[in-house]
């Protein structure tokens, strides 16, 4: 290390090092509440390399657990969307819209005058059966490297025993009776995963109930009172100091009366390798967070796609097989995102007692099985020169790279014994393998195109990875 080379004699060098090194070790970078300072925060390597996180939407809305199964395209701004919102975690908003299917559902199952916050007592009873260790095991088996839990969604109910009183809810309806945030954090970390926290800073229907009826209300229903700003700052501080989240995932902007830059600086100073999403409504973020949308090219800025396994984030009992992403599509989606510098934050919507719906479990298991064999092409990789290509028979290909290897993943099952990947000239001496099969593959060049002879039996069920190692790298 250069600071230790300047001493004239061995003894003075040692003395200098003894003086300087502890001082260096004790002085991590301090961040201040300005965009310039926050922008100096480097993207932590763990987050860049993790590629897969599990998002969890769990709360009072998991009790009714219902939304209409429409709008697969998530066209948020259409008038019809708001009344038919497929997000079950929006139940409290949608049930108040006259003529909405959610209002009819609520009337039929609970009665027109049944208050949403009555669900608190039911939720508290149901969560007694919840086993955080089992969840952590499921997420680990699915191949996730981090978890992000809703600590407070738009309904204002918190999943940790916040000491900041909510002025509008009775004390027994403000938060869950178990410290879900703390218990899950402990279980997840025991599995070697990191724990991130989602917080709805923008909407809190206990402070400004709305409802949101039309597109213009999306902005109007954000509480901006002094009291709310203080409340959000205080809850954020409580989450940061109490749980030191690996990801601070705010939603729907931050109240103007609050102090987002101060909170971000305090967060980095407490958790230097933490990451912040781009939904604080300020010009600083470690990553972009498109929702139910992917990018069509490599993005220099890190991004994280979030979406549910189905059409909703929160549990929707009306969803089944047809509304849930198919295993092959899910794996193709992950490969596509990673080839473009993204992570996938894949959401599960557990039932009120913590049961993860069977259709969702099946997807998590398929993903985990594929990653156990092919994770080398995903974790710790970087985008290559280009994200995509195709074979002569029209199968889509996605590229990732890591040290000396290039990974070409086929998003479809080849029909014949060989494939031709278009525009992929390799250097002589390159070695090719299919992940899951130890035998090298024979290959040849057809002009610029690459012909590869495939193993007689393909070693995977979905997305086949060809690993290419060139003597001097790719």
* Interaction site with ligand GLC (CB under 6 A): 57, 87, 89-90, 251-252, 291, 306, 313
| CB-nearer residue toward ligand GLC: 212 or 465 | 212
C-beta of residue 432 within 8 angstroms of C-beta of residue 452 = yes
Distance CA 447, CA 194 (A): 47
Q: How far is the CB of 304 from ligand GLC (least distance, A)?
A: 10
Q: In whole angstroms, how close is the CB of 198 to ligand GLC at the nearest point?
A: 7
Least separation, in Å, of the C-beta of 249 and ligand GLC?
8
Q: Least distance from C-beta 440 to ligand GLC, angstroms?
A: 44
CB of residue 200 to ligand GLC, shortest distance in Å: 7
Least distance in angstroms from the C-beta of 158 to ligand GLC: 15
Q: How far is CA 137 from CA 147, 188, 347, 360, in A?
A: 12, 8, 16, 15
The minimum distance between CB 197 and ligand GLC, in angstroms, equals 13
**Angle value at C-alpha 370, between 367 and 376, nearest 5 degrees:** 115
Contacts of 319 (CB under 8 A, 6+ apart): 69, 310, 311, 312, 357, 359
Residue 444, beta-bridge partner list: 451
- Burial of residue 164 (CB within 10 Å: 0-12, 13-18, 19+) is middle
> Based on CB atoms, which residue is closest to ligand GLC, 311 or 467?
311
Please state, in angstroms and rounded to a whole number, the distance separating the CA atoms of residues 28 and 6. 23
Sequence-separated (6 or more) residues with CB below 8 Å from residue 33: 259, 261, 262, 264, 265
With beta carbons less than 8 A apart as the criterion, state whether 381 and 412 touch.
no
Q: Residue 312 or residue 400: which is nearer to ligand GLC going by CB?
A: 312
287 vs 313, beta carbon nearer ligand GLC: 313
Token readout for 404 is 């000396």
For ligand GLC, the closer of residues 59 and 274 by Cβ is 59
Work out the number of other CB atoms within 10 angstroms of the CB of residue 411. 21
Q: How far is CA 30 from CA 26, 40, 283, 352, in A?
A: 11, 10, 19, 41
Of the two residues 313 and 407, which places its CB atom closer to ligand GLC in the complex? 313
Both structure tokens of 85: 């919102």
Choose between 57 and 259: whose C-beta lies nearer to ligand GLC.
57
Burial class (CB in 10 A: 0-12, 13-18, 19+), 350: buried
- Nearest distance, CB of residue 306 and ligand GLC, angstroms: 5
Cβ closest to ligand GLC, residue 57 vs residue 173: 57
Kindly tell me which of 231 and 313 has the beta carbon lying closer to ligand GLC: 313
| Minimum CB–partner distance for residue 90 and ligand GLC (Å) | 6
């Amino acid at each position: 290390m250069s600071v230790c080379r300047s001493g004239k004699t061995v003894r003075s060098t040692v003395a200098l090092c003894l003086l300087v090194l502890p001082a260096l070790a004790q002085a991590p970078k301090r961040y201040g509440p300005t965009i310039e300072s926050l922008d100096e925060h480097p993207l932590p390597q763990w987050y860049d390399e993790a590629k897969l996180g599990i998002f969890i939407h769990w709360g009072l809305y998991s009790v009714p657990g219902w939304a209409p199964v429409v709008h697969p395209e998530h066209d948020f701004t259409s008038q019809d969307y708001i009344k038919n919102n497929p997000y079950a975690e929006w139940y409290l908003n949608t049930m108040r819209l006259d003529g909405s299917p959610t209002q009819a559902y609520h009337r039929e199952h609970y009665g027109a005058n049944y208050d949403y916050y009555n669900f608190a007592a039911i939720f508290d009873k149901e969560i007694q059966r919840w086993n955080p260790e089992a969840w952590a095991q499921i997420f680990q088996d699915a191949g996730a490297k981090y978890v992000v839990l809703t600590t407070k969604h738009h309904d204002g109910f918190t999943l940790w025993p916040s000491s900041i009183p909510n002025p509008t809810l009775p004390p027994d309806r403000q938060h869950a009776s178990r410290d879900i945030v703390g218990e899950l954090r402990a279980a997840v970390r025991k599995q070697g995963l990191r724990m991130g926290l989602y917080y709805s800073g923008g909407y809190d229907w206990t402070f400004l109930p709305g409802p949101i009826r039309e597109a213009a209300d999306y902005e109007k229903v954000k509480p901006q009172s002094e009291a709310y700003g203080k409340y959000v700052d205080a809850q954020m501080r409580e989450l940061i100091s109490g749980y030191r989240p690996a990801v601070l995932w705010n939603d729907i902007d931050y109240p103007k009366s609050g102090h987002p830059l101060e909170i971000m600086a305090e967060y980095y100073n407490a958790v230097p390798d933490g990451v912040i999403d781009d939904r604080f409504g300020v010009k600083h973020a470690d990553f972009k967070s498109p929702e139910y949308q992917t990018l069509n090219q490599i993005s220099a800025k890190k991004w994280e796609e979030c979406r549910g396994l189905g059409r909703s984030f929160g549990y929707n009992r009306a969803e089944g097989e047809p509304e849930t992403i198919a295993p092959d599509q899910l794996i193709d989606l992950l490969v596509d995102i990673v080839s473009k510098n993204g992570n996938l934050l894949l959401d599960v919507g557990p039932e009120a007692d913590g049961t993860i719906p069977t259709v969702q479990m099946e997807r998590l298991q398929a993903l985990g099985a594929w990653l156990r064999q092919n994770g080398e092409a995903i974790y710790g990789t970087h985008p290559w020169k280009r994200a995509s290509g195709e074979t002569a028979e029209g199968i889509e290909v996605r590229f990732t790279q890591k040290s000396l290897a290039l990974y070409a993943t086929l998003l479809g099952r080849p029909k014949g014994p060989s494939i031709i990947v278009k525009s992929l000239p390799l250097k002589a001496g390159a070695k090719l393998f299919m992940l899951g099969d130890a035998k090298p593959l024979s290959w040849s060049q057809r002009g610029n195109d690459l012909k590869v002879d495939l193993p007689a039996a393909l070693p995977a069920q979905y997305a086949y990875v060809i690993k290419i190692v060139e003597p001097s790298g790719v």
